[in-house]
């Protein structure tokens, strides 16, 4: 894909938000999928209203480059790096969500790892999009919670989540990501999404535990600008065609 076009990814996201157009991202975890499965996902995504791929995961430390190469060879969709650690960095992606875990108090995930990665990222051709990452409580402990060694914001405390998101925006972050965690038993609730959306002006991403058409419509209607699905498609590629029926309703 032409890098000059990809440099406009964030501008495209902002434009769609301003117009009220919703976006959909597919999370591909290299550590949980075979090469053949990644290839199949890339091909199916073309007809499923996917706007871009996210590549990364909580534990993945290998196969990131290979996964990106497979997606690139089988799709023209943008590929966005979604690193769970420094070991997942790659300059093969088109863009990167530079995540800062602002809901926690782990200094390494707030700024420490970013300092270590900065020289490499500065030299890369990727579009770097600073993103405030907010982990929301689920019914069970998630991989993100365990690996990050941080406590999620309670699901019944939308005011705390909103204040955290506002702080992220005031600090200059370009997007806010509300996350229930990979494979979460309980998705981010409607009240939480509505509350956070009300108090920020930057794009809002929602992911974790989303696996049905109703889940997607709920998130969009509550104020999410981008919805991310990962585990559901990871478990059953055929569900993507079903989910696309709901996604299509919000495409303009």
Residue 6: what pLDDT?
46
Q: Tell me: pLDDT of 67 over 80.
A: yes
Structure tokens at 63: 């196969």
Residue 58: what pLDDT?
63
- What is the rounded CA–CA span in Å between residue 126 and residue 211? 30
Residue 144: what pLDDT?
83
Which parts of the chain fold into alpha helices (H)?
A: 3-6, 9-19, 35-45, 64-74, 107, 113-123, 143-148, 158-170, 190-199, 213-222, 231-235, 239-249
Residue 81: what pLDDT?
96
- Rg over CA atoms, the chain: 16
Torsion of CA 6, 15, 134, 92, to 10 degrees: 0
Question: pLDDT tens-digit profile of 36-55?
Answer: 999 999 999 988 999 999 99
Residue 85: what pLDDT?
86
Residues in the chain: 252
- What is the rounded CA–CA span in Å between residue 149 and residue 135? 11
Q: Tell me: pLDDT of 215 over 50.
A: yes
- 91 by Cβ neighbours in 10 Å (0-12 / 13-18 / 19+) ranks as middle
Residue 61: what pLDDT?
62
User: Binning pLDDT at 50, 70 and 90, where does residue 2 land?
Assistant: very low
- What is the rounded CA–CA span in Å between residue 72 and residue 67? 9
- What is the rounded CA–CA span in Å between residue 27 and residue 44? 14
Of 17-21, 84-88, 95-99, 155-159, the poorest mean pLDDT is in 84-88
Average pLDDT of the residues in 223-252: 91
Helix (H) or strand (E) holding 55: strand 52-55
């Amino acid at each position: 894909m032409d890098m000059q076009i990809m440099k406009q990814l964030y501008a495209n996201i902002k434009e769609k938000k301003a117009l009220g157009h919703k976006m959909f991202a597919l999370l591909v975890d290299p550590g949980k999928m075979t090469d053949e499965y990644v290839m199949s996902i890339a091909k199916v995504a073309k007809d499923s209203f996917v706007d871009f791929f996210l590549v990364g995961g909580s534990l993945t430390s290998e196969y990131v480059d290979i996964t990106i190469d497979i997606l690139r060879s089988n799709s023209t969709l943008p590929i966005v790096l979604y690193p769970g650690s420094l070991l997942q960095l790659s300059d093969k992606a088109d863009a990167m969500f530079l995540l800062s875990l602002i809901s926690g108090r782990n200094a390494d995930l707030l700024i420490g790892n970013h300092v270590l990665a900065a020289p490499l990222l500065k030299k890369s051709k990727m579009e770097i999009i600073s993103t405030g990452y907010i982990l929301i409580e689920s019914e069970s402990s998630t991989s993100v919670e365990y690996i990050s060694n941080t406590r999620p914001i309670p699901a019944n405390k939308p005011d705390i989540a909103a204040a955290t998101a506002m702080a992220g925006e005031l600090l200059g972050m370009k997007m806010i990501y509300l996350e229930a965690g990979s494979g979460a038993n309980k998705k981010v609730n409607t009240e939480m999404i509505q509350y956070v959306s009300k108090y920020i002006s930057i794009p809002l991403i929602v992911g974790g535990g989303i696996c049905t058409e109703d889940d997607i419509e709920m998130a969009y209607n509550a104020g999410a600008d981008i919805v991310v699905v990962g585990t559901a498609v990871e478990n059953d590629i055929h569900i993507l065609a079903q989910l696309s029926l709901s996604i299509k309703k919000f495409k303009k």
